[in-house]
Amino acid sequence: MAIVEIRNFSKRYGDFEAVRDFNLDIEEGDIFGFIGPNGAGKTTTIRFLSTLLEPTTGEARICGLDVLKQPLAVRKVIGYMPDMFGVYEGMRVWEYIDFFAAVYGIPKADRKKIIDDVIQLLDLDKKRDTFVEGLSRGMQQRLCLAKTLVHDPKVLILDEPASGLDPRARVFIKELLKALRDMGKTIFISSHILSELADCCNKVGIIERGELLAAGGVRDILSQFSESVRIEIEILSDPGVCENILHTFPEITSVEVFGKMFKVEFNGELTSIPDIHKKLNEGGVEVLWFKDTPPDLEDVFMRVTKGEVA
């Protein structure tokens, strides 16, 4: 059973169809990147999953719990980070975390350790006694993420956690996501910039103007929507042997030979690329280097979406 299941979700605001009927499954341990331009329907979907929005049609389950029928139970298993940081004047960083821990009903005696743990995880030690309103954007995002972790949720639902951050701060968030995944969390994260997420997600969904255009494993999406992969090979042995082996692959649509260098166009399942390398080795070809340049998720994104801003 998928840890997050969305069935026939759609949302209308009056006459306006913000999200058109879609289904989506996310498995335990996934880092799912929900990608789409401004106005695509990301926040609408996230608010639905976080029990904050009444759908027009559809239902969703998280950890087997019904988002519509069991909202309180759902809130205990999710950590929701909204796209906006609420301003809390006069609260220090540790008090802010303590406040949310209290909201989740964590007894006072347990809260100190939890505060220490999340402060350490988010590297907020130096800001512990700083007033929240004086934090930089990057630090506010970190604090906001810290707050979503206090009740040790299984599923994190993060709405654009990396937006407006500088490159170093984005790297920090990405590393943190991986650490959280390694701690056993499932992560649903939205962004309007694909490259922000491409290297840390194992699954992506691409949404535009309320329509889920594609969803699945990063590799599957790549092979489904991209054209060819370029492979460059340099060998030390007889180029004729190498060329013959390359031509045995029906997925290889073109082979250019430059002495002992080869430029190959490959149109097939990405998972079979290692077979080429293997066959060359087995055929006695001495491969000096073998470099495949996989299609970029960014290319796929540009191709799948129409690029129109709602």
Ligand X SMILES: Nc1ncnc2c1ncn2[C@@H]1O[C@H](COP(=O)(O)OP(=O)(O)OP(=O)(O)O)[C@@H](O)[C@H]1O
Q: For residues 241 and 304, which CB has a smaller minimum distance to ligand X in the complex?
A: 304
- Give the integer Cα–Cα distance in Å for 54 and 68: 8
- DSSP characters over 53-107: S--SEEEEEETTEETTT-HHHHHHHEEEE-SSPPP-TT-BHHHHHHHHHHHTT--
Terminal alpha carbon distance of the chain: 35
According to CB under 6 A, which one of 102, 302, 309, 310 is a site residue for ligand X? 310
- Give the integer Cα–Cα distance in Å for 107 and 221: 45
Q: For residues 192 and 219, which CB has a smaller minimum distance to ligand X in the complex?
A: 192
Q: Which residue has the tokens 């329509």?
A: 211
How far apart are CB 213 and ligand X at their closest, in Å? Answer: 13
How far apart are CB 40 and Mg ion at their closest, in Å? Answer: 8
Q: For residues 42 and 185, which CB has a smaller minimum distance to Mg ion in the complex?
A: 42
Give the gyration radius of the chain's Cα atoms. 23
Please report whether residue 226 would count as binding ligand X according to CB under 6 A. Answer: no
Torsion, Cα 12 161 294 210, to 10 degrees, reads 0
Residue 155: what residue type?
Answer: V
> Which residue has the closest beta carbon to Mg ion?
43
Q: For residues 163 and 202, which CB has a smaller minimum distance to Mg ion in the complex?
A: 163
Q: Which does 192 bind (CB under 5 to 8 A by kind): Mg ion, ligand X, none?
A: ligand X
How far apart are CB 151 and ligand X at their closest, in Å? Answer: 25
How, if at all, do strands 203-208 and 31-35 pair?
Answer: parallel
Contact set for ligand X, span 33-92 (CB under 6 A): 36, 38-44, 83
Please report whether residue 18 would count as binding ligand X according to CB under 6 A. Answer: yes
Q: For residues 21 and 83, which CB has a smaller minimum distance to Mg ion in the complex?
A: 83
How far apart are CB 186 and Mg ion at their closest, in Å? Answer: 20
How far apart are CB 281 and Mg ion at their closest, in Å? Answer: 49
Report yes or no: 197 and 32 within 8 Å, Cβ to Cβ. Answer: no
- DSSP characters over 204-235: EEEEETTEEEEEEEHHHHHHHH---EEEEEEE
Q: For residues 19 and 221, which CB has a smaller minimum distance to ligand X in the complex?
A: 19
Where along the sequence are the contacts to Mg ion (CB under 5 A)?
42-43, 83
Q: Which does 40 bind (CB under 5 to 8 A by kind): ligand X, Mg ion, none?
A: ligand X
Q: Find the helix or strand (DSSP H, E) in which 49 lies.
A: helix 42-49
How, if at all, do strands 16-26 and 4-13 pair?
Answer: antiparallel
Q: Which residues, 6+ apart, have CB-to-CB distance to 262 below 8 Å?
A: 231, 232, 233, 234, 235, 239, 242, 243, 246, 255, 256
Length of the chain as a residue count: 310
Q: Which does 153 bind (CB under 5 to 8 A by kind): ligand X, Mg ion, none?
A: none
Q: Which does 41 bind (CB under 5 to 8 A by kind): Mg ion, ligand X, none?
A: ligand X
Site string for ligand X, 183-202 (x = CB under 6 A): ---------x----------
Q: Which does 18 bind (CB under 5 to 8 A by kind): Mg ion, ligand X, none?
A: ligand X
Q: For residues 42 and 181, which CB has a smaller minimum distance to ligand X in the complex?
A: 42
Q: For residues 18 and 162, which CB has a smaller minimum distance to ligand X in the complex?
A: 18
Q: Which residues bind ligand X (CB under 6 A)?
A: 13, 16, 18, 36, 38-44, 83, 192, 310
